[in-house]
Structure formats: structure tokens, C-alpha cells
């Protein structure tokens, strides 16, 4: 029997005392045709009827002007009653209270319904439309939500108390369509592990899913326009992110973990991991094929500047690292600063037209070399790479992907410091360490440079306002330019290692050969920007940095043998001083022991005095008691007049005793 939905709507309006308003079911946009026909076809009319009853109830709530919650939480569940209470309780204890929980029971046969009935909380809405699958459940939950923002919650996970508050604040502040965060993995046995989140990059999403669905929230309008693909039993979340990304949705990533994601054997991801990986790979492949065809056309050009001077083999490795980038639209401008001819190195790349080779007739220094290359560049973005350093394959993609999807114009990543030593015929790596990973702070840039130049990418047009590298500086020219850029623009720090700069132990680095000039240019920069220092702590930090560099320069100027002898003499002097301190310490210990004995004797004397004082106090108390008895006796009261006469008589005799 067909269901007359229009009659149902008219009946509802009649119940509300609004018979004069004629509304057709098909005119109500809040009830998509998806629910009537696609979600529950003709052979499932009973389920379709239940869903529509629930949706009609929502319409009625709106007609009554019932307030909408700030945020809705959609939680599908299926036979998870043994974990469900912990999940719900984590919502009840949230720091914000203006929420609703849409709990979609996907046909559980355990005690889920009984558990929910124990909650006397009007914010918790429980629905059971039979077993329809996870995507169906998510879509129905989103349709039944009344909040402008919908947060995902799984029935086996725990939401940290401030999750909903942070989601609301960050989404409203940023205007984001989709929010995600870091999370904890836990087993329920006290074992926890932080799973970090990463900034959103569309290109990275095409290569694999790095957004954790239990942490996700999105605007309701996005959920309605982009429902989960109900043909997918798994990785429906990844498919949703890909489609949302293609539609231009704005993603916001939060570094703070907000969800505790439980790891247990009955998870779908555990039980069907191989099948999930297969579906995931198909989605990645379908996205990658079309993306790779058009990426080189859509990507903005990046100009990679490589100055070189007498290091041909190192230059070759640096160029190779750029040629191996996952980001395809770049040009490489090699500027030879009057060093050894490297034409053969350039030609070894088979005439690749992306490599532009320039030469200085005379040595002009690093700043002038970079400026020459920049003037010859054509890219929207500028990246710098020294001829003895390398990029990792995702360096340009990471930075350009972020800059193109954000309002920032300058961004930088992290880089490894690699220590190398010469071994027979080549340099070999002996140690690798990331020594710089600092978020942007323009004031701290006035103290020292914490951003390696190879980690940085910025828009070329910024230089028309900020200016090029200062060619009067033999060193620190990159730091000085960063100070100028930082006074005009905010930088964004991407906490990902995408490159490496190399330190060799044979003093062949520029930082070793021009150490004295580093001190000179440091003083120049401090003086040039002294008007920006208003904090006494910054001034003190500058002073300490300058003193440290001065000592370092002085030490490096001492010949090795003489330095060794000075260190040896210093150690001997310190050893003598330590011996003297040891003798003085032993003398102090002897004196302290004598003092301890004296103090012990004083303690004994004090104890004896205390005992005597206590005995005297007891005797005094007894005398006072006896006197009190005398004063209270009858004889004392009777003789009181006689004592008074006696006193007068004594005074009289005393006064007349003139002889």
C-alpha cells in the first residue's frame, strides 16, 4: 500500500493548529528524495516510513521555533553495548552543553536499546531503522541533525572533555567546512600513543588518507550536499574527503589530540584490513590518474635558485634532488659565481630545458649570485638550495601545496643537519639530526636565524616590496632578508622534514671558512634593526649570542696544537682548583662535626633546665593552691580587721620613732 506523505504533512500541521497552511511533502527540502526512494526502495516501506516520521518531527520542531543546538554529534553503532556507555559518557561530560547526540542503531541485537533508555537526557536522540550499513547510518544521522555543525563520534571511542568546544571555536574562527585533529590510540589497558595530524594538502590527500575520521566535524550543509557513498562498506570517509576537496571545501587541521580511538579486535578496520586496503588503493588510483595528467598545467611555476662555486659533484647531487621532486612544474637556475666550469654537469641532464645555467665573470658572493638568478627567474615562487645540500622528494609539493591552499605567502618546513666525513674517495654521513624546528616568531628572528634557507619558499612578488638579498653582506644575507620579509608578512611553519643541509668535518663549509665574517655581519644586522628591540630580554639574548659567536671565532683562530695546549693547561688549572675546593670542603666537614657535638651538649643542658623548670613550676602551683586555701579559710576572714589595725599601728610607730 502506497504511503500518502502529503496527507501525513497536512495531519501534522493540523495537530499544530495550522490547518490553513497547505504544504506538500515534495516542497520540503529538508526531506531529500534520497530518503524516500534511494535509501529505502519500495520493498522496504516500513523503514522508509520510520525515517520520514523522524524527519517530519524535525520539521515540527522548526515550526515550533525550538532552539537548534550549536553542534550535533552523529554516532552510528552496531552491537557495541559493552563500549557504548563510555562513548556517550564522554559526551555528557563535555565543557559545552549545547549539543545533541544522534545515535543511529544499525539494527543491533544486543542490549543497546536498554542501555540508552537508562539515560534521562533529552539531548540524546535514539533511532533504530534496521541494519543498513555504516554509510546509510551516517547519512541518516546527518539528515536528522539540527546543529549547523556535525561532529563524528564512533561508539567505541572516547571524546576528550574539550573536543566539542574546540571544534566549535575553531570552525567559527576559521570559517572551515571540515575540521580534523590528532588523536590518541589506546587499547583500554593503559597503553596510549599520540597519532599526529598534518596540515591539509590536496596533493597529499590524493596519495593516501591521513585524516582520522573519529576526529572529523563538518558543516551540515556539506554533509547534505555530499552524502557518504552508500555503495562503500569501508573507506567511505576517504571518498568523502576526496569529493569535498574537489568541491573546494576548506579544511582545518588541529594539532591537539581530541579523541581517544580504541584499538580492539572487533573493529571493521581490524577484521577486514586487506579488503579496506584494496578499496583505498582503488580510490587513490582513480584520483591520481586524472590529477597527474593536469597537475603540470595547473601547478604554478617554482624557481629553484642554486648558486655554485667549485663543488661540481655536490652540485650534481643537488640538481638531482630537484629533478626527483613529486612536484613537476619548476625551473632550476644554476648561477656559477666564477668558479670551476660546470657545463658538463648541466649537460649530463640531457639538455633538460627546465635547467637555466648562468655564470658570473668574477666572484661576487652568495647574495649577488642569488639576486642574479632571481632576476632571471620566471616562477610565482622562489626556493633556494645551496650546491652542497639536497631536497627530499616531497619538498616542493609540501610547500607549494600549502601556499596555494592558504592565505600565507611565505612558508617553511624542517630540515635535517647531516654531518659528513671524507672516506677514501667520497663523503659519508656519520650523523643526522634535526636541530631547527621552531614556529614563526618575528621577534626571535632579531636574535638569530632559526629558518634554514633551503627550508623556505616565498612568492617572488614579495621581493618588489621587501627588496632582494643585501649584496653588502658577505654572510647572513639570508637571515637579513628574512627579517625584512617577517616585518611585512606572517610565515607558516610546516612541521615536516623535507630537506637536508650538510656539515663536513674538514672545514670545507662556508660556515667554517667565513666564521669571522659571521661575527661582523651579526653586529651589522643587530645595529641595523636595533630600533625594533623594545624588550630587554631580546637585548640580553642578542648580547649572549654575540658573545658566544665571538668566543667561537676566537677559538677557531687558534692553531690546533696551541689550542690543545691551552685546553690542557686550562684542565690542569681546574684540577688544582678542584683539589683546593676538596680540601676546603673536608675542613668544613670537620668544623661541622665539632659544631654538631657542641649542639648535642647544648641540647642536653637545655633538657636538664627544662626538667628543673618543670619541677619548679609544679612546686609553685602547689604553693599557690595552699595560699588560696588560706585566703578562703574562716580564720583568715575573721582576722582580717586585726591585720588591718596591725598595719596601721606599725606605720604609726615608724612615723614617731624620732630617737
Instruction: Please write the tens of the pLDDT for every residue from 443-465.
Output: 999 999 999 999 999 999 999 99
What percent of the chain is predicted at pLDDT more than 90?
A: 41
90: nearest Cα among 124, 126, 125? 124
Residues paired with residue 606 on neighbouring β-strands, in sequence order = none
Q: What mean pLDDT is predicted for residues 25-40?
A: 42
What pLDDT band is residue 487 in, cutting at 50, 70 and 90? very high
- How far is Cα 629 from Cα 307, in angstroms, rounded to an integer? 112
Query: According to the model, what pLDDT value does residue 135 have?
Result: 86
655 class by beta-carbon count within 10 Å (0-12 exposed, 13-18 middle, 19+ buried): exposed
Question: What's this model's pTM, rounded to 2 decimal places?
Answer: 0.45
Averaged pLDDT score across all residues of the chain: 81
pLDDT the model gives residue 652? 67
Helices 134-143, 236-246: inter-axial angle, 10-degree rounding? 50
Per-residue pLDDT tens for 498-511?
999 988 877 666 55
For 392-401, what is the mean pLDDT? 94
Q: How many CB atoms lie within 10 A of CB 571?
A: 9
Q: Which residues, at least 6 apart from 398, have a Cβ–Cβ distance to it below 8 Å?
A: 201, 204, 413, 494, 496, 498
Of 249, 250, 251, 205, the C-alpha closest to 225 is 249
DSSP-based three-state secondary structure for 156: coil
| pLDDT tens digits along 102-138 | 999 988 898 899 998 899 899 999 998 888 888 888 9
CA dihedral 284, 267, 220, 64 (to 10 degrees): 160
Q: Could you read off the pLDDT of 312-335 as tens digits, one per residue?
A: 989 999 999 999 999 989 999 999
* Cα–Cα distance measured from residue 33 to residue 3, given in angstroms and rounded to the nearest whole number: 14
Phi, psi of 183 (to 5 degrees): -155, 170
Three-state DSSP class for residue 167: helix
pLDDT reading at 297 higher than 50: no
Query: How close are the terminal C-alpha atoms of the chain, in Å?
Result: 148
Q: For 213-242, what is each residue's pLDDT tens digit?
A: 999 999 999 988 888 888 777 788 999 999
Residue with cell 637555466: 356
Provide mean pLDDT across the span 424-440: 87
Cell of 307: 648558486
Confidence bin at 249 (pLDDT 50/70/90) = very high
Q: Which residues pair with 304 in a beta bridge?
A: 332, 383
Long-range residue pairs from 21-29, CB within 8 A, at least 24 positions apart, any chain: 28/59
pLDDT in the model for residue 295: 46
Helix (H, G, I), strand (E, B) or coil at 535: coil
Q: What are the tens digits of pLDDT across the range 614-630?
A: 888 887 888 877 777 77
Q: How far apart are CA 306 and CA 369, in angstroms?
A: 9
Amino acid at each position: 500500500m502506497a504511503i500518502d506523505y502529503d496527507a501525513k504533512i497536512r495531519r501534522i500541521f493540523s495537530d499544530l493548529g495550522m490547518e490553513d497552511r497547505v504544504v506538500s511533502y515534495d516542497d520540503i527540502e529538508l526531506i531529500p528524495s534520497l530518503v524516500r526512494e534511494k535509501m529505502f526502495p519500495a520493498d522496504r516501506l516500513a523503514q522508509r516510513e520510520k525515517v520520514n516520521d523522524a524527519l517530519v518531527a524535525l520539521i515540527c520542531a522548526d515550526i515550533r521555533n525550538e532552539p537548534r543546538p550549536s553542534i550535533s554529534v552523529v554516532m552510528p553503532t552496531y552491537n557495541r553495548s559493552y563500549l557504548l556507555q563510555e562513548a556517550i559518557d564522554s559526551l555528557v561530560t563535555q565543557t559545552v552543553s549545547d549539543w545533541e547526540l544522534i545515535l543511529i542503531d544499525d539494527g543491533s541485537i544486543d542490549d543497546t536499546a536498554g542501555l540508552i533508555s537508562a539515560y534521562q537526557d533529552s539531548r540524546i536522540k535514539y533511532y533504530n531503522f534496521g541494519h543498513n550499513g555504516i554509510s546509510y547510518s551516517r547519512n541518516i544521522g546527518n539528515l536528522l541533525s539540527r546543529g549547523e555543525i556535525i561532529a563524528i563520534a564512533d561508539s567505541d571511542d572516547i571524546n576528550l572533555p574539550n573536543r566539542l568546544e574546540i571544534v566549535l571555536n575553531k570552525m567559527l574562527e576559521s570559517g572551515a567546512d571540515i575540521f580534523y585533529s590528532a588523536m590518541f590510540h589506546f587499547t583500554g589497558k593503559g597503553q596510549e600513543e599520540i597519532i599526529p595530524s598534518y596540515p591539509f594538502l590536496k596533493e597529499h590527500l590524493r596519495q593516501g588518507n591521513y585524516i582520522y575520521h573519529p576526529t572529523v566535524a563538518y558543516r551540515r550543509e556539506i554533509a547534505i550536499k555530499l552524502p557518504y557513498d552508500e555503495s562503500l562498506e569501508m573507506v567511505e570517509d576517504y571518498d568523502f574527503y576526496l569529493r569535498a576537496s574537489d568541491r573546494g571545501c576548506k579544511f582545518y587541521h588541529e594539532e591537539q589530540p581530541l579523541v581517544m580511538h580504541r584499538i580492539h579486535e572487533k573493529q571493521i578496520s581490524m577484521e577486514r584490513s586487506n579488503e579496506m586496503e584494496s578499496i583505498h588503493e582503488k580510490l587513490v588510483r582513480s584520483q591520481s590518474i586524472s590529477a597527474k595528467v593536469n597537475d603540470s598545467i595547473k601547478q604554478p611555476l617554482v624557481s629553484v635558485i642554486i648558486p655554485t662555486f667549485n663543488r661540481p659533484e655536490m652540485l650534481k647531487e643537488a640538481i638531482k634532488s630537484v629533478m626527483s621532486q613529486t612536484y613537476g612544474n619548476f625551473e632550476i637556475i644554476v648561477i656559477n659565481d666564477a668558479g670551476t666550469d660546470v657545463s658538463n654537469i648541466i649537460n649530463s641532464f640531457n639538455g633538460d630545458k627546465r635547467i637555466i645555467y648562468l655564470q658570473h665573470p668574477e666572484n661576487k658572493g652568495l647574495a649577488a649570485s642569488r639576486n642574479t638568478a632571481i632576476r632571471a627567474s620566471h616562477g610565482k615562487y622562489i626556493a633556494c638550495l645551496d650546491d652542497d645540500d639536497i631536497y627530499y622528494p616531497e619538498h616542493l609539493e609540501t610547500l607549494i601545496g600549502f601556499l596555494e591552499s592558504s592565505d600565507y605567502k611565505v612558508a617553511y618546513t624542517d630540515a635535517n643537519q647531516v654531518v659528513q666525513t671524507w672516506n677514501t674517495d667520497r663523503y659519508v654521513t656519520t650523523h643526522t639530526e634535526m636541530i631547527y624546528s621552531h614556529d614563526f616568531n618575528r621577534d626571535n628572528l632579531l636574535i638569530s636565524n632559526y629558518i634554514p634557507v633551503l627550508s623556505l619558499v616565498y612568492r617572488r612578488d614579495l621581493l618588489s616590496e621587501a627588496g632582494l638579498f643585501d649584496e653588502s653582506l658577505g654572510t647572513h644575507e639570508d637571515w637579513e632578508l628574512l627579517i625584512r620579509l617577517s616585518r611585512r608578512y606572517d610565515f607558516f611553519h610546516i612541521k615536516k622534514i623535507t630537506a637536508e643541509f650538510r656539515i663536513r668535518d674538514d672545514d670545507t663549509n662556508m660556515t667554517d671558512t667565513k666564521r669571522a665574517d659571521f661575527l661582523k655581519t651579526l653586529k651589522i644586522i643587530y645595529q641595523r634593526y636595533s630600533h625594533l628591540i623594545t624588550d630587554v630580554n631580546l637585548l640580553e639574548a642578542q648580547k649572549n649570542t654575540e658573545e658566544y659567536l665571538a668566543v667561537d671565532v676566537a677559538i677557531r683562530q687558534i692553531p690546533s696544537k696551541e689550542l690543545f695546549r691551552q685546553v690542557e693547561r686550562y684542565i690542569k688549572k681546574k684540577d688544582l682548583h678542584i683539589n683546593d675546593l676538596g680540601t676546603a670542603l673536608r675542613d668544613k666537614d670537620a668544623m661541622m662535626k665539632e659544631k654538631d657535638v657542641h649542639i648535642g651538649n647544648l641540647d642536653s643542658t637545655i633538657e636538664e633546665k627544662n626538667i628543673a623548670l618543670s619541677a619548679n613550676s609544679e612546686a609553685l602551683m602547689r604553693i599557690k593552691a595552699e595560699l588560696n586555701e588560706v585566703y578562703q579559710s574562716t580564720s583568715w576572714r575573721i582576722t582580717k580587721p586585726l591585720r588591718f589595725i596591725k598595719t596601721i599601728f606599725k606605720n604609726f610607730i615608724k612615723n614617731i620613732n624620732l630617737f
